[in-house]
Amino acid sequence: MAEVSFEFFPAKTDEKAAALLRVAQRLAAYEPRFMSVTYGAGGSSRERTLEALRQMVEALPIPLAGHLTCVNAAKGEVDDVARAYWDLGVKHIVALRGDAPVAKGEAPTPYRPHPEGYHYAADLVAGLKKIAPFEISVAAYPETHPEAQSAQSDIEHLKEKFDAGADRAITQFFFDPECFLRFRDRAVKAGINKPIVPGILPIGKAAQAWRFAKMCGASVPEELKTLFEGVDDLPPIRTRLSAVVVDRLCQRLRAEGVEHFHFYTLNQSVPTSTLCTLLGRQRSHPLVELAS
């Protein structure tokens, strides 16, 4: 049976925080390997991330992971967040370089390391290992990081993160399974022998998914765009079509030996629950109403 893990983003209001906890409780019934909570650009959601994890620690019997970035923070500030995670009982960190916050309507600015901070994710991984024996996941990019000099240099940076102590990589989402499989082959050729977990985005509204893809540098096959054309206004068809398309992606990966899938839930339970069921995950308690 395939392993799964889930990613959430911290809520901005008390009402949405309560809804997020309900979603996490529903998805916890699939007994994921871990659940993670993201950390906003430049650490902008630090307190909300900590609060979301605090609530989940109290409510869920599932291992939790907190994201942590290098952006706009001195090493001491980043280390303090890591210690706060540890004190909460969160022993797993998703260590990322991160991106600078972008004001609405403005273009992204090039990444600049904080002069007193960790410069890159490999530095962060090494620093975290000095603080406590964290389990550490890092990011990987099947279609190459948008700022990388080349696909080969991107693989080399990933190997540096593993050499610094990372336990696994979780990829950016993708829609073509061959992108992941070719990337995995290149990683093995470069001497990487630790797990690379595919990041899977359950497609909700197609327009939203394509927008996310453009922001992240993920390609959308033309046949996929054609398939979803006009269905955003037809929720029943869209929901079924999305489940079929993403399950087909996962099954192709399973046929090539992939047995752990990391779902970007977008704080929704229904799409991810559907895919977990199709992957053969059994719930640990009876199905409850899935309203979100």
CA distance 13 to 128: 30
Catalytic residue among 7, 147, 178, 223: 7
Give the pairing type, strands 196-200 and 3-8: unpaired
- Work out the widest C-alpha separation in the chain, in whole angstroms: 52
7 given a catalytic annotation:
yes
Q: Which two tokens stand for residue 132?
A: 């406590």
User: At 2, which amino acid appears?
Assistant: A
CA distance 159 to 30: 32
CA distance 62 to 112: 36
CA distance 185 to 191: 10
Work out the number of other CB atoms within 10 angstroms of the CB of residue 256.
12
User: Which residues does the annotation mark as catalytic?
Assistant: 7
